[in-house]
């Protein structure tokens, strides 16, 4: 049986919202394994495959499940894996959550259902169904900018009563939400930022880490920043934040993960290939990414 309390305590630090590398239109499994090893070597505390940055909307079901399974297999228990398992269809999400449990992921990341616009009562039904469908901890992903709906603090507090709903990835942009959720959901509930640019502030409000896009190209720096936060050394954390901020901005000059994949291509770790309707970056954006990476000493 999954130990939800133990899992929650491990969800701290720098988690990368891992890209899905492509080659000739298909998932590049060799590049994926290389990326995973590189992240572990560079201090990334955990991996989140097949989230939005992993291009989950345009992966087919077989690709989705293969990326999750290969990630878990390659990691081999060295760091936690939170498997992207959300969908705007509860039935489809059940399938993804069950698969994540079957292959041994540490937790499932489940986004609030996009497009359908369920109300708060329906959100409780959706997450309760997923909680009951498999023996795996679940992290809620609240991102109103992409899903349109916003899970209220009251709804999250209600869901936090379920034993396997163990945390939230918050991408609301409202740092006060962290403080309210900390009070409402209790000390064992994992609070993870979903926004690189405000991650230090989020941690200061009681968060314990970030699911990061920037960590795709600067894992060691993002890990160092999160480590400083966990140790209460906010002077060091802010120093890292100052160094990382141009990269945080560059990673969102265009739709993710095009900037992250371009950055990784500069490091020779995967191609910059993305799947439509996401397309490659403009030259202006590429120049900003190169400048930000150079400022961090990532490019020779």
Q: Is 141 a catalytic residue?
A: yes
pLDDT of 300 reads 80
pLDDT of 8 reads 85
pLDDT of 2 reads 52
Cis amide prior to 257 (ω within 30 degrees)? yes
Long-range contact set of residues 289-295: C-beta below 8 Å, sequence gap at least 24: 289/247, 289/250, 289/251, 289/253, 289/259, 289/262, 289/263, 290/266, 291/246, 291/250, 292/246, 292/247, 292/249, 292/250, 293/217, 293/218, 293/247, 293/263, 293/266, 295/243, 295/246, 295/247
Delimit the domains of the chain by residue range.
Answer: 4-231
Give, for all 300 residues of the chain, the pLDDT tens digit. Answer: 457 777 888 999 999 999 999 999 999 999 999 999 999 999 999 999 999 999 999 999 999 999 999 999 999 999 999 999 999 999 999 999 999 999 999 999 999 999 999 999 999 999 999 999 999 999 999 999 999 999 999 999 999 999 999 999 999 999 999 999 999 999 899 999 999 999 999 999 999 999 999 999 999 999 999 999 999 999 999 999 999 999 999 999 999 999 999 999 999 999 999 999 999 999 999 999 999 999 999 998
pLDDT of 1 reads 41
Cis amide prior to 181 (ω within 30 degrees)? no
Judged by DSSP in three states, 244 sits in: helix
Topology classification of domain 4-231: TIM Barrel (3.20.20)
Q: Is 169 a catalytic residue?
A: yes
**Among 12, 169, 227, 261, which one carries the catalytic annotation?**
169
pLDDT of 88 reads 95
pLDDT of 289 reads 98
Distance CA 69, CA 250 (A): 31
Distance CA 297, CA 156 (A): 40
**Among 12, 127, 141, 227, which one carries the catalytic annotation?**
141
Distance CA 4, CA 262 (A): 36
């Amino acid at each position: 049986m999954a130990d939800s309390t133990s899992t929650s305590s491990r969800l701290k630090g720098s988690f990368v919202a891992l890209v899905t590398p492509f080659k000739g239109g298909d998932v590049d499994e060799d590049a994926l394994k290389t990326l995973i090893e590189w992240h572990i070597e560079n201090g990334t505390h955990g991996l989140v495959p097949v989230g939005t940055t992993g291009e989950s909307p345009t992966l087919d079901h077989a690709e989705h499940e293969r990326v999750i399974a290969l990630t878990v297999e390659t990691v081999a228990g060295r760091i936690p894996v939170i498997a992207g398992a959300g969908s705007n269809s509860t039935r489809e999400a059940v399938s993804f959550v069950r698969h994540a449990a079957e292959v041994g992921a540490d937790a499932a990341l489940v986004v609030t259902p996009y497009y359908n616009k369920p109300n708060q009562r329906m959100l409780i039904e959706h997450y309760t169904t997923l909680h009951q469908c498999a023996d795996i901890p679940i992290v809620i992903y609240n991102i109103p900018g992409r899903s349109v709906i916003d899970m209220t603090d009251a709804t999250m507090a209600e869901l936090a009563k379920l034993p396997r709903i163990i945390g939230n990835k918050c991408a609301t942009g409202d740092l006060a939400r962290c403080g309210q959720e900390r009070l409402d959901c209790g000390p064992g509930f994992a609070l993870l930022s979903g926004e690189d640019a405000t991650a230090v502030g989020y941690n200061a409000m009681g968060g314990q880490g970030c699911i990061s896009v920037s960590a795709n190209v600067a894992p060691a720096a993002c890990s160092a920043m999160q480590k400083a936060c966990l140790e209460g050394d906010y002077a060091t954390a802010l120093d890292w934040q100052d160094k990382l901020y141009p990269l945080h901005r560059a990673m969102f000059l265009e739709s993710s993960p095009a900037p992250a994949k371009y950055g990784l291509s500069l490091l020779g770790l995967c191609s910059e290939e993305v799947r439509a309707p996401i397309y490659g970056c403009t030259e202006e954006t590429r120049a900003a990414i190169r400048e930000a990476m150079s400022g961090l000493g990532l490019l020779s």
